[in-house]
A and B are shown apart, each in its own frame.
Chain A
Amino acid sequence: MADQINKIEPDGNPEIGEEKVHVFEAWCKKCGICVAFCPTGALTSDANGLPLLTYPEKCTQCGMCELRCPDFAIAVRPREKKEPKIVTTGESQ
């Protein structure tokens, strides 16, 4: 538990790792809300009710699990931003 809490850096930023969805085990109360309302069915609960990203390929990184979690215990990695198109107007300023 202490480990998990220490994952919140002093500047307030949690480490969310490389996976699309990260669960902070120490804060998760295993309520099942994230799993029940995931629009793609990407999450399942383990035997204790802890959410697992069982089907990462299904996860669209929509963020709904994170928004509905009452415990700030699940974080979704944002989708990679597409490279912005370079628009050249031909004018120099």
Chain B
Amino acid sequence: MPIFSEMTHKYLRAKKKFPNVWCSGCGIGTVMGAIIRAIDHLHLSRDEVVMISGIGCSSRMPVYVDFNTLHTTHGRPLAFATGVKLAKPNLKVIIVTGDGDALAIGGNHFIHACRRNIDLTTILINNSTYGMTGGQVAPTTPFMKIGTTAPYGNRERGFDISKLAMAAGAPFVARGTVYHVVQLQKLVEQAILKKGFSLVEVISQCHTLYGRLNKEGGPVEMMKWQRDHAIPISAAGKVPAEKLKDKFFTGVLWDIDFPEYCEEYDKVIALAQSLAEGEGVRVKGKERE
């Protein structure tokens, strides 16, 4: 067994920023550990990895890790990431984003990144609320749950993020939880290895706001909830429908192949250049005029 800490600390900006800013027991730190171990397990060098985030509690993550990092503007990490990946296709670009960041202000970027199928790995930390700004309702807050902007219960349904991503065209969609941390690392690894846009939705706990407003207890109780409500996708079809009520599937939910955008773009460049060469001959000779 590896000495996890020794390995993990290698990737932390340990002297600068710790202890981290997250509330005691917040799931985001656990997700960070899983991402770091996944990167280490894949033997990626620190210089090969770019971690890009928007704004939010989850989006604080790049501050703490010693990769190439970009902490961008609210809702826009996928736009920045698209630029980085197109300019430097050999880099592994990992986006860390919150459910508000990715699906409210950044919703349009999200669906079009899925559709475009550019080789990005998106880790979407779903805590069902806007953590950083004080527990407002997010596009993922379930029906009738309480947020500071919905004290009488949220009358809208939350997005099913995975279905949204699949419908928008993402070829790799997975879901994990903070509680199932070993599985989470494996999902992140698979997502990084996938050629194309990959999404890992991580069910996480914001006990400070969402948990308190909804009387769901502290981090331990919320992680027990994750443990008791996650059903491995391999059990789909075997579990009777009544037992699936309020439950969610975890694991790799969707994995198909589709041409990747950077590779397609290289073909566009090659085609345009070959046509331009032909054109150049014609232009020189002015035969066409």
- Asked if B220 and A33 make an inter-chain contact with CB atoms under 8 angstroms apart, the answer reads yes
Does A78 reach chain B (CB closer than 8 Å)?
Answer: yes
**Contact for A14 among B9, B22, B23, B32, CB less than 8 A:** B9
Does A75 reach chain B (CB closer than 8 Å)?
Answer: yes
- Asked if A70 and B14 make an inter-chain contact with CB atoms under 8 angstroms apart, the answer reads no
- Asked if B30 and A75 make an inter-chain contact with CB atoms under 8 angstroms apart, the answer reads no
* Complex contacts, A78 vs chain B, CB 8 Å: 1-3
Which residues of A69-84 are within 8 A (CB) of B? Answer: 69-73, 75-79
- Asked if A68 and B4 make an inter-chain contact with CB atoms under 8 angstroms apart, the answer reads no
* Complex contacts, B28 vs chain A, CB 8 Å: 70
**Contact for B1 among A12, A61, A69, A71, CB less than 8 A:** A61
Would you give the 0/1 interface string for B11-43, flagging 1 where the beta carbon is closer than 8 Å to chain A? 110110011101111111110111001000000
- Asked if B220 and A32 make an inter-chain contact with CB atoms under 8 angstroms apart, the answer reads yes
Q: A14-B9, A68-B178, A71-B20 are in contact. List 13 more A-B contacts (CB 8 A).
A: A5-B14, A5-B18, A14-B6, A16-B5, A27-B18, A27-B19, A30-B24, A37-B223, A67-B4, A67-B30, A69-B29, A72-B18, A78-B3
- Asked if A29 and B181 make an inter-chain contact with CB atoms under 8 angstroms apart, the answer reads no
Least Cβ–Cβ distance between A7 and chain B, in angstroms: 10
* Complex contacts, A68 vs chain B, CB 8 Å: 30, 178-179, 181, 223
Cα distance, A28 to B5, chains bound together (Å): 14
* Complex contacts, A69 vs chain B, CB 8 Å: 29-30, 33
- Asked if A72 and B3 make an inter-chain contact with CB atoms under 8 angstroms apart, the answer reads no
Does A63 reach chain B (CB closer than 8 Å)?
Answer: yes
- Asked if A8 and B3 make an inter-chain contact with CB atoms under 8 angstroms apart, the answer reads no
* Complex contacts, A29 vs chain B, CB 8 Å: 19, 23-25
Which residues of A32-82 are within 8 A (CB) of B? Answer: 32-33, 36-37, 61, 63-64, 66-73, 75-79
- Asked if A13 and B6 make an inter-chain contact with CB atoms under 8 angstroms apart, the answer reads yes
- Asked if A5 and B24 make an inter-chain contact with CB atoms under 8 angstroms apart, the answer reads no
- Asked if B26 and A70 make an inter-chain contact with CB atoms under 8 angstroms apart, the answer reads yes
Cα distance, A77 to B1, chains bound together (Å): 9
Cα distance, A63 to B7, chains bound together (Å): 13
Least Cβ–Cβ distance between A56 and chain B, in angstroms: 17
Cα distance, A28 to B1, chains bound together (Å): 23
* Complex contacts, A33 vs chain B, CB 8 Å: 25, 30, 219-220, 223
* Complex contacts, B4 vs chain A, CB 8 Å: 63, 66-67, 75-76
Does B162 reach chain A (CB closer than 8 Å)?
Answer: no
Contact flag A31-B3 (CB < 8 Å), given A12-B14, A69-B29, A72-B8: no
Cα distance, A69 to B19, chains bound together (Å): 12
Contact flag A75-B14 (CB < 8 Å), given A32-B220, A70-B25, A70-B27: no
9 residue pairs bridging A and B, Cβ less than 8 Å apart = A11-B10, A31-B25, A33-B220, A67-B37, A67-B182, A69-B29, A70-B33, A72-B5, A76-B4
Task: Specify which of A32, A63, A68, A76 lies most central, judged by the most chain B CB atoms within 10 Å of its CB.
Answer: A68
* Complex contacts, B15 vs chain A, CB 8 Å: 5, 8
Would you give the 0/1 interface string for B112-127, flagging 1 where the beta carbon is closer than 8 Å to chain A? 0000000000000000
Which residues of B161-189 are within 8 A (CB) of A? Answer: 178-179, 181-182
* Complex contacts, B30 vs chain A, CB 8 Å: 33, 67-70
Cα distance, A93 to B65, chains bound together (Å): 46
* Complex contacts, B8 vs chain A, CB 8 Å: 72
Least Cβ–Cβ distance between B38 and chain A, in angstroms: 12
- Asked if B1 and A79 make an inter-chain contact with CB atoms under 8 angstroms apart, the answer reads yes
* Complex contacts, B181 vs chain A, CB 8 Å: 64, 67-68
- Asked if B14 and A71 make an inter-chain contact with CB atoms under 8 angstroms apart, the answer reads no
